[in-house]
Each structure stands twice: as structure tokens, then as C-alpha cells.
Structure 1
Amino acid sequence: MLEFRQVHKAYATPLGPLEVLTGVNLTLAAGESLALMGESGCGKSTLLHLAAGLDLPDRGEVRVAGRAISSLGEAGRARLRRETLGLVFQQFHLVPSLTVLDNLRLQARLAGREDRAWSAELVERLGLAGLARRYPEQLSGGQQQRLAIGRALAPRPALLLADEPTGNLDESTADEVLDLLLALVRDTGSALLMVTHSPRVAAPLDRCLQLSHGRIG
């Protein structure tokens, strides 16, 4: 479902190029969950952005569902994100002018795969059934994160990318959100790549890899 082949990525700085990823190799099978750990600034988010086609590698190849990201134009990468990927980031990126229910349905509509029965089930399982007509600003942080997860999984994506999805939550709420995320991932059959710095958050996933000094060990 996801493959990195000798991926390199650097960014320009006033002091010269800053090497962030230096020959990363990674594979993630369909339906598998993988935690990517590492210290802050080690390149975890860069790797996730490359997987999502939000950035391109300098060298090497990133393949999603058998397609090389670098072979797709901007429109093709946007279509890939819309139809194949689900994205969950620390910042919820909810649409403030849409209700809980409309935010939930948004990604499925964009992918052309809206399923009202699945949306109704998601609202219930997210614990948001009584809040469906409210707006994001009327929700707690934990409720907003659950909504962001539900929106990403509404179209049943082949691959879910999650960047510290519980990082802004207290421990108890984080545990509840993580349990919900993993249960929904299992039910949709999505592969999951989760970036985290927490061994506790990484523990329930199928595999865990460490990113350090631009390489996966």
C-alpha cells in the first residue's frame, strides 16, 4: 500500500542544504498498522508529507497503492489524496461553517463515496450523535479530534496517515481517541501509518519503526 525506496529529502537553509531524510526505505502492507517514532525534528512529519504527496522527494521513490508519487502532477496527487488517502493531523482542519455531520460527510463527498448509513454509524461511534447539528467551535478538543478522525475514515480510504493524532489531548482522552481510531481502522480495512513520539501510543499497532538521523533503524 505504501513504499519508500531510498528516499532523500533536504531543505535549503541560509547555511546550506539541511538533509532531513537520507535513504529511507519503508513498506506498509494493505490493512497493516505501523507506528513511526522519533525525536522532534527528526523528519517524521516530512516523511508523512511525502507519503501524502504534499511534497516530493529529491531522490528515490514513494509509491502509494502501486503508483509513484513523482509521476503524478499536482492534480493527480490531489486526486490520490481525495480517493485513496485519509489524513489526520494535530491541527484538526475542520470547516468552521459546517456542522459536525457535514464536516463528517465532507471527505466522502469529495471522494464520490458518500454512504449515509456509514456516516450515521460513525456519528454514533464517535460519540457525537447528540451534537450532529453543532459547529466545531462548540466541541471540546477531544470531540474535534474524534470528528477529524471520522471525516478521514468516512470514505473508507485505503491508507490513513496520522500525525500525532492524540498529541494535543490529555492522557485519558488520548487513550479513548486512540482506541476509537484503531477500531475504525480495523473495520474499514485501511492501512495506517501513524507518527508519534509516544511508546504508549505506538504499542497497540502491528509494527513500530524508529526514525533517527534521517534513516529508519
Structure 2
Amino acid sequence: MLEFRQVHKAYATPQGPLEVLAGADLTLANGESLALMGESGSGKSTLLHLAAGLDLPDRGEVRVGGEVVSSLAEADRAKLRRETLGLVFQQFHLVPSLTVCDNLRLQARLAGRERPDWTAELIERLGLAGLEKRYPEQLSGGQQQRLAIGRALAPRPALLLADEPTGNLDEGSADDVLALLLTLVRDTGCALLVVTHSPRVAAPLDRRLNLTHGQLTPLATGQDACA
């Protein structure tokens, strides 16, 4: 579902080019979950932006569903994000003028795949039943994060990309949100890539990779990327 082939990415700095990815390789299969770990500034968010087509590599290929992302026009990359990808960010990015129900419907409508039965099921499974008419500011932080996850899953994407999805939550709420995320991903069959600095978040995922010095290396279960 997702593949990086010898991907390089650098940014200009006053001290010269800063290479954050130096020949990175990655594969993520349908239905598989992967945690991407590493210290702050290691390039984790850059890799996620490349996977989403929000940025393009300097060299190498990023493939989503077999398509080379950098070969697509911007309009086609936007279409890919609408129809194939789900995005969950540390900041919830909910539409404040829309209710819980309408926030869920919006992404599915944009993808042309709105299903009232799936929306109703998501509301129930997200623990938001009875809150359908509330606005984001009327929800707790944990409820807002669950809503953000539901919005990303509403179009039933093939690939879900999550950037520190529990970073703003207390430990108890984070565990609940992560368990819900993994359950919904398993039930929908989509692939999941989670960027996190937390071994606790990474532990239940199928695989863990550490990004350091621009390279991706496997992490064994229980190994701390920041140790």
C-alpha cells in the first residue's frame, strides 16, 4: 500500500543543506500497522508528509497503492488524499462551525463515499452517541481526538497516516484512543502508519521502525528508539 524506494529529502538552512532522509526504504502492506519512531527533528513528520503527497522527495520514489506520488499533478495528489488516504494529526483540525455528525460526513462526502450506516456506526463506536449535534468546542480533548479519527476513517481509506495521534491526551485517554484506532483500522482493513515518540503507543502495532541519520531501521519489541 505504501512504499519508499531510496528516498532522499533535504532542506536549506543557513549552515547549508540539511538531509533528513538519506536513501530511506519502507514498505507497508494492506492491513498492516507500523510505528515510525525517532527523536524530535529526525524527519518523522517529513516522511509522513511525503507519504501524503504534501511534499515531494528530492530523489527516489514514494508509491501509494502502486502510484508514484511525485509523478502526479497537484490536483491528482489532492484527489489521492481525498479518496485513498486518511490523515490524523496531533492538532485535531476539526471544522469548528460543523457539528460532530457533519464533521464526520464532510470527508466522506469529499471522497464521494458517504454512507449513513457507516457514519452511525462510527458515532456509536467512537463513544459519541448523544453528542451528534454538539460542536467541537463543546467536546473534551479525548472526544475531539476520537472525532478526528472517525473523520479520517469515514471514507474508509486504504491508508491511514497518523502524526502523534495521542500527543495531546493524558495517559488514560491516550490508551483508550489508541485502542479504538487499532480496532477500527483492523475492522476496515486499511494500512496504518503512526508517527510517535512514545514506546507505549508503538508497542501494540505490528512493526516498529526507527528513523535516525536519515535511515530507517527495525526496532525489536520493547526497544526504545530514544534510549
Task: Give the structure-1-normalised TM-score.
Answer: 0.99
Q: Give the structure 2 partner of residue 11 of structure 1.
A: 11
Q: Give the structure 2 partner of residue 85 of structure 1.
A: 85
- Equivalent residues in 2 for 1:112-131, closer than 5 Å: 112-131=112-131
2-structure distance, mates of 1:135, 1:106: 14
Q: Give the structure 1 partner of residue 68 of structure 2.
A: 68
Q: Give the structure 2 partner of residue 107 of structure 1.
A: 107
Q: Give the structure 2 partner of residue 151 of structure 1.
A: 151
Q: CA deviation at 1:44?
A: 0.3
Residue 186, structure 1, aligned to residue 178, structure 2: no
Q: CA deviation at 1:15?
A: 1.6
Q: Secondary structure at the match of 1:53?
A: coil
Q: Give the structure 1 partner of residue 41 of structure 2.
A: 41
Q: Secondary structure at the match of 1:193?
A: strand
Residue 215, structure 1, aligned to residue 215, structure 2: yes
1-structure distance, mates of 2:196, 2:110: 28
Letter in 2 for 1:67: E
Q: CA deviation at 1:13?
A: 1.2
2-structure distance, mates of 1:73, 1:118: 31
Letter in 1 for 2:190: S
Task: Give the structure-2-normalised TM-score.
Answer: 0.95
Per-residue CA distance 1:45-97 (angstroms, 9 max, x = gap): 00000000000000000000000001101000000000000000101110000
Instruction: Mark the runs of 5 or more structure 2 residues left unpaired by the alignment.
Output: 218-227
1-structure distance, mates of 2:62, 2:163: 18
Q: Give the structure 1 partner of residue 175 of structure 2.
A: 175
Q: Give the structure 2 partner of residue 51 of structure 1.
A: 51
List structure 1 segments (4+ residues) > 6 angstroms apart after TM superposition.
none
2-structure distance, mates of 1:183, 1:103: 21
Q: Secondary structure at the match of 1:192?
A: strand
Per-residue CA distance 1:91-145 (angstroms, 9 max, x = gap): 1110000000000111110000001000001001111111110100111111000
Q: Secondary structure at the match of 1:185?
A: helix
Q: Give the structure 1 partner of residue 221 of structure 2.
A: none
Q: Secondary structure at the match of 1:169?
A: coil
Instruction: Mark the runs of 5 or more structure 1 residues left unpaired by the alignment.
Output: none
Letter in 2 for 1:109: R
RMSD value over aligned CA atoms?
0.5
Q: Secondary structure at the match of 1:130?
A: coil
Q: Give the structure 2 partner of residue 20 of structure 1.
A: 20
1-structure distance, mates of 2:17, 2:42: 15
2-structure distance, mates of 1:70, 1:63: 9
1-structure distance, mates of 2:46, 2:169: 22
